[in-house]
Amino acid sequence: MRGALGVGAVAAALAALAMAGWAPYLAAEIQLRQHGALVGPAPRLPVQGRWFDDYFVVEPIDADTFAIGEPRYYQGNYSYLVVGTDRALLFDAGTGNRDIVPVVRSLTRLPVTVLPSHLHFDHVGALGRFDRTALLDTAALRSRARAGQLELQRYEFLGLADSLAAPRFKVDEWWPAGKRIELGGRTVQLLATPGHTPTSVALLDADRRLLFAGDFIYPGELYAFLPGASRSAYLATTRQLLATLDPATRIYCAHMADAPEAIAAPLLGVADLHALESTLVAIDRGEAKSSGFYPRVFPVRGPISFATGFAWNNR
């Protein structure tokens, strides 16, 4: 009996370890699913910028840079329109809950290229619906394109959260990491920022000291426990950004805080990246304290926290 019990305990432990290896996928299937309304009532908060209709908010960052918010969506997404004299670039494509195209067309008549910060469901709503669509050029993504069309995969898209089918869209341009994009009188640079996902990117306007960071960092819980996330990549990217950015750079993010004091484009600074680096180092050393089981959530700075998997997940 004792021996049999020992064998059973070992089998249970092995099963638990096997299950833990699937934890990112189980978390995606179970924890991400939104059971409430995707779009809520208009928030009764001060608004920086103006309502475009009863859903979008447009906030000028400067004369030709605009934050386009969706504060009624449960994740509070923001996309960013960067305008030159020859063409414009939309960084992130909206959630798709409402049509972002009329908002962008109200701000510029120039040709618009749309580039997603990454390929999760809440950032790709209008891909293929502007003049051109660009993606980070990786061998893995490019090899899947068929006749110029790319179909997103289940755990790359994660549309199961909002009960969305994976989209297929035309890719017009493949941009390598580091590419400098000329917009006419304005140049921005594409930065690869793996960590949240393998193909995450940010957009740097060094002249104006602006970084558009997507989901790499924002004033909330950073998701680094889902399929494709990597703590080591997060740390490497954080250090690369710290080595690249002017200390006065303003970092515009893709999600508002959960309980904002006003409807405004989420804005962080380089000090927040320093805090993230310190937290990631402490996690690797086993010195950081967390709450929760899966994900484990570590405080970073202010409203920012870092949610990651077990020690063997999301390395």
pLDDT tens digits along 52-110:
999 999 999 999 999 999 999 999 999 999 999 999 999 999 999 999 999 999 999 99
Asked if the model's pLDDT at residue 10 lies above 80, the reply is no
Query: What is the model's pLDDT at position 19?
Result: 59
Strands of 112-115's sheet in order across: 50-51, 57-62, 65-70, 77-83, 88-91, 112-115, 132-136, 173-175
Sign of CA dihedral 60, 61, 65, 67: negative
- pTM (2 d.p.): 0.94
pLDDT-derived band at 16 (thresholds 50, 70, 90) equals low
Calculated CA dihedral for residues 186, 190, 196, 199, nearest 10 degrees: 140
Query: What is the model's pLDDT at position 259?
Result: 87
Fold annotation for 25-308: Metallo-beta-lactamase; Chain A (3.60.15)
Please list, in sequence order, all residues whose beta carbon lies within 8 angstroms of the beta carbon of residue 305, skipping any fewer than 6 positions away: 220, 221, 222, 297, 298, 299
Mean pLDDT of the chain: 93
Please list, in sequence order, all residues whose beta carbon lies within 8 angstroms of the beta carbon of residue 185, skipping any fewer than 6 positions away: 84, 85, 86
Domain boundaries of the chain, sorted by first residue: 25-308
Helix (H, G, I), strand (E, B) or coil at 271: helix
Q: Which of 103, 111, 152, 120 is nearest to 224 (CA)?
A: 120
Percent of the chain with pLDDT over 90: 90
Query: What is the model's pLDDT at position 314?
Result: 81
Q: Which of 240, 235, 185 is nearest to 211 (CA)?
A: 240
Q: Residue 187, Cβ neighbours under 10 Å: how many?
A: 14
- DSSP type of residue 179: P
Strands 210-212 and 250-252: parallel
Query: What is the model's pLDDT at position 113?
Result: 98
Report how far Cα 295 is from the mean position of its chain's Cα atoms: 18
pLDDT tens digits along 112-126:
999 999 999 999 999
pLDDT tens digits along 221-280:
999 999 999 999 999 999 999 999 999 999 999 999 998 999 999 999 999 999 999 999
Asked if the model's pLDDT at residue 144 lies above 80, the reply is yes
Is the N-terminal amide bond of 295 cis, ω within 30° of 0?
Answer: yes
